[in-house]
A = this chain, B = another copy of it.
């Protein structure tokens, strides 16, 4: 067989390319009504019975074997034990990553501002952190310490008073790397609860857990459905779809490097999407050959192969301008500009979660330790949303302080407009402030 992984080849210069690209990108999360029912029931139970419901669900779903909510609370000593228990190389890597993530995110902190007008009227914006934030961390296999750093550190940089982490511990087991990351990130409280019940407890509070203002972090379909259900009662981060990468390459990068960058997306899950765009047809051939050769050597080859066959593509374009047009249509979570002069292309990237520039910048460096966040908008939502950041844990209040003169002038304007909208009390409140 010439093409074992059967990764799709498309040509952006053909007339039906637009439709082919739309088909390639099509992905819609199906709502599962049975899941919605189960989640609604769990939320109602936690609202009604608080801690008792949390203990019951944890015993039922996670074999917690608990009699009391206190047994599901981990204290700071346990986190410090984990930090001491992990391998020194891992601890050092986590510390370096935490430090770099903190340093980058400090650039995102927003500051209050004010300005005064000629008549003495003061206008501005006051920035304040949220009080309490909940961080969901999946248990078991998909338990990622990097995710703890990426979610908790921006909240702490924002000045959030209390970051409460929840993570299920099936059979009492919880990953030491995750606990060590929680210690380094400054998590304030940790409960070994999970699923929709954990989301409900964070959103509505229980006897022992004060309700939070925002819930962040990834989770399974029950967690995602619960987050959608409590959205409005609290803020949530985003609805994540499968992860994607789009590599733009001029043909000058080692094809093995590009193949491995595509794999590092494709190994996440079978719905992940890895796309390469290049004006060099020969380069696409070479990357395809690298894929064929390297794929069998991967630990997670079964997943990567399905992902590449189902959702991958090698796309030939006329030139780098057309490559950018394709990229902006995709609005990818991750884009690599694997070209000689990435800075020349940067202004043309209109929609992307994170932009990896140059041949040395593999996406995986950004996933772990470059500094920017790895929680990014997926499925084209980079058209309207942003990486998780400090700004997600800060909020703004408008400030208005009118001088007597300012209120008098503004009062005349507000009076006309309010009466035009038949809101008479608004008009009269403004008119009281007009100088006689």
Contact = CB atoms under 8 A, between A and B. Distances in A.
A17 interface: no
B362 A424 contact: no
A410 B369 contact: yes
A397 interface: yes
B400 A382 contact: no
A281 to B, nearest CB: 24
Q: Give the top 10 A-B pairs by smallest Cβ distance, nearest first.
A: A372-B398, A357-B401, A360-B407, A263-B425, A93-B416, A354-B398, A386-B396, A364-B426, A235-B384, A368-B414
Contacts of A343: 401
Nearest to A360: B407
Interface string A309-353: 000000000000000000000000000000000110010011111
A417 B145 contact: yes
Contacts of A177: 420
Contacts of A92: 416
A404 interface: yes
A25 interface: no
Contact of A401 (B361, B382, B413): B361
A81 interface: no
Nearest to A433: B360
Contact of A428 (B260, B365, B385): B260
Interface string A119-162: 00111011010110000000000001110000000000000000
A274 to B, nearest CB: 10
Interface in A360-419: 360-373, 376, 381-387, 389, 391, 395-404, 406-407, 410-414, 416-418
Interface of A: 29, 89-90, 92-94, 96-97, 104, 107-108, 113, 115, 121-123, 125-126, 128, 130-131, 144-146, 177, 213-214, 232, 234-235, 239, 254, 256-257, 260-261, 263-264, 266-268, 298-300, 304, 342-343, 346, 349-358, 360-373, 376, 381-387, 389, 391, 395-404, 406-407, 410-414, 416-418, 420-430, 432-433
Contacts of A399: 346, 354-355, 357, 372
* Residue of A96, A260, A410, A418 most packed against chain B (CB within 10 A): A410
A117 to B, nearest CB: 9
Contact of A367 (B97, B396, B414): B414
Given A386-B395, A387-B396, A422-B299, A407 B362 contact: yes
Q: How many copies does the complex hold?
A: 2
Contacts of A256: 432
B257 A384 contact: no
Contacts of A354: 397-400
B400 A257 contact: no
A400 B267 contact: no
Contacts of A146: 417, 421
A424 B384 contact: no
A171 B40 CA distance: 42
7 contacts: A146-B421, A266-B425, A343-B401, A367-B414, A368-B418, A389-B396, A391-B391
B370 A417 contact: no
A412 to B, nearest CB: 8
Contacts of A387: 396-398
Given A382-B397, A397-B382, A429 B362 contact: yes
A153 to B, nearest CB: 14
A417 B93 contact: yes
Nearest to A349: B397
B122 A113 contact: no
A423 to B, nearest CB: 6
Contacts of A300: 422-425
